Amino acid sequence: MPDAKLLEVFESPGDEPYVIEHVADEFTSLCPVTGHPDFGTVTVRYQPRPRREGGTCVELKSLKLYYQSFRSEGVFYEAVTNLIRDDLVRLMRPAWLQVRTDWRGRGGIRSVIRADHGDVPAEHRGK
């Protein structure tokens, strides 16, 4: 499975609430049934805890390498989405976090999967 040990963090630069959103347009993994490649966009949105509470942010190069570790893995869309959420929550302990994966269509069907942690504000739900 993908290697969460690739993920790194840095100290949150502030104590006031703010929201971070990272969008990766070139995510790939393999269908565990057919072995064909799946292509999607991964959006991670979160609010770090304040610096005074030990808040951290994910470092982007490490996030890219983590995403790339999925390329040769046979994994369902739902599992990818939940695994990314769980690994990032374990690493950063954010106030809240949302992972959304948008999968390119195959056979006329597109899929969107969301996995939340914590109390995601209303303005970010359903996006």
Active site residues: 31, 38
Residue-wise over 89-107: b if at least 16 C-beta within 10 A, else e?
bebbbbbbbbbbbbbeeee
Can you list the positions of beta strands (E) in the chain?
9-11, 20-30, 37-47, 56-58, 96-106, 109-118
> How many Cβ atoms from other residues are within 10 Å of residue 69's Cβ?
17
Whole-number Cα distances in Å, 123 to 84, 101, 112, 119: 22, 18, 18, 11
| CA–CA separation, 73 and 70 (whole Å) | 5
